[in-house]
């Protein structure tokens, strides 16, 4: 069972999500909270695999709550929820460590797909959201080789452990490519690409594609970053 916690200041939104999730045989709703403080307290008492986190809440917002939750041992994965497409507030939650981005009016099948994807260690981002994240990260970070200091990131020391092919795969991920697109560009099977992606994440200590994009820009590997 995938244990899901719901965090949203609107009770009707939580009720709607609960109705959709409890109809599934592999998903269990284990708790609800109406703000960031309540979410942190809740997750100290119960274990969740995935948290659906509203980013715009009174009191402690979803960005701060996401940071606090992901700092805890055995942290769950977080999908941020927003009313606005390409919401920069929600992108800050991705920078804070969230693994997905979902609109509140997403279809039930999209919600379920996102939950199962992040639970499996993948990211739940539409391609244009990935591209927007790339734009935001690229705009915020100095260009490698420009003389400005580029953040090495906690996993940068492991960069040298990547094979040339794994670096190619990381660069493609940072460009917003799906596994299918990477397979086509590098003349590999999708299963081989999936293996390379898994090795990249393992070697660099990355949670998913969202953080691979950020890592690549921080270390000058992404297109336009160096």
Q: Which residue has the higher pLDDT, 207 or 105?
A: 105
Where do the domains of the chain lie, and which CATH numbers do they carry? Answer: 2-124 (3.40.50.2300), 143-218 (1.10.10.10)
CA-wise closest residue to 95 among 72, 67, 119, 115 = 67
* The predicted structure's pLDDT at residue 129: 66
Rg (CA), the chain: 18
Tens of pLDDT, residue by residue over 178-206, are 788 899 999 999 899 989 998 998 888 88
The DSSP 8-state label assigned to residue 149 in this structure reads P
CB 38 within 8 A of CB 65: no
pLDDT digit string (tens) for 59-71?
888 889 999 998 8
pLDDT score, position 141: 46
Residue-wise pLDDT tens digits, 8-22: 999 999 999 999 999
Please report the pLDDT score of residue 211 as a whole number: 77
Q: CA-CA distance, 170 to 165, in Å (whole number)?
A: 9
Match 């590098």 to its residue by tokens: 186
Sheet containing strand 2-7, strands side by side: 27-33, 2-7, 50-54, 77-82, 100-103
| More confident call, 225 vs 39 | 39
pTM above 0.85, yes or no: no
pLDDT of amino acid 128 = 61
* Mean pLDDT in residue range 111-120: 89
Question: Does the pLDDT of residue 101 top 90, yes or no?
Answer: no
For residue 39, the Cα-to-chain-centroid distance in whole angstroms is 18
| pLDDT tens, residue by residue, 146-178 | 333 334 444 456 778 889 999 999 988 877 777
Which residue spans within the chain are E strands per DSSP? 2-7, 27-33, 50-54, 77-82, 100-103
């Amino acid at each position: 069972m995938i244990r899901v916690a719901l965090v949203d200041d609107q009770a009707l939104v939580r009720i709607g999500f609960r109705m959709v999730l409890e109809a599934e045989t592999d998903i269990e709703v284990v708790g609800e909270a109406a703000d960031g403080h309540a979410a942190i307290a809740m997750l100290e008492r119960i274990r969740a695999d995935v948290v659906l986190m509203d980013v715009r809440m009174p009191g402690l917002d979803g960005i701060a709550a996401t940071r606090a939750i992901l700092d805890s041992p055995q942290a769950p994965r977080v999908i941020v929820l927003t009313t606005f497409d390409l919401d920069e507030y929600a992108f800050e939650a991705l920078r804070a460590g969230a693994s997905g981005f979902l609109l509140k009016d997403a279809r039930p099948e999209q919600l379920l797909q996102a939950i199962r994807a992040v639970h499996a260690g993948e990211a739940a981002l539409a391609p244009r959201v990935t591209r927007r994240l790339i734009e935001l990260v690229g705009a915020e970070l100095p260009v490698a080789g420009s003389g400005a200091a580029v953040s090495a990131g906690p996993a940068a020391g492991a960069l040298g452990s990547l094979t040339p092919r794994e670096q190619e795969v990381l660069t493609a991920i940072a460009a917003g490519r799906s596994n299918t697109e990477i397979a086509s560009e590098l003349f590999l099977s999708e299963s081989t690409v999936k293996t390379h992606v898994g090795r990249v994440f393992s070697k660099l200590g990355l949670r998913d594609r969202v953080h691979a994009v950020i890592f690549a820009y921080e270390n000058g590997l992404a297109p336009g970053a160096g």
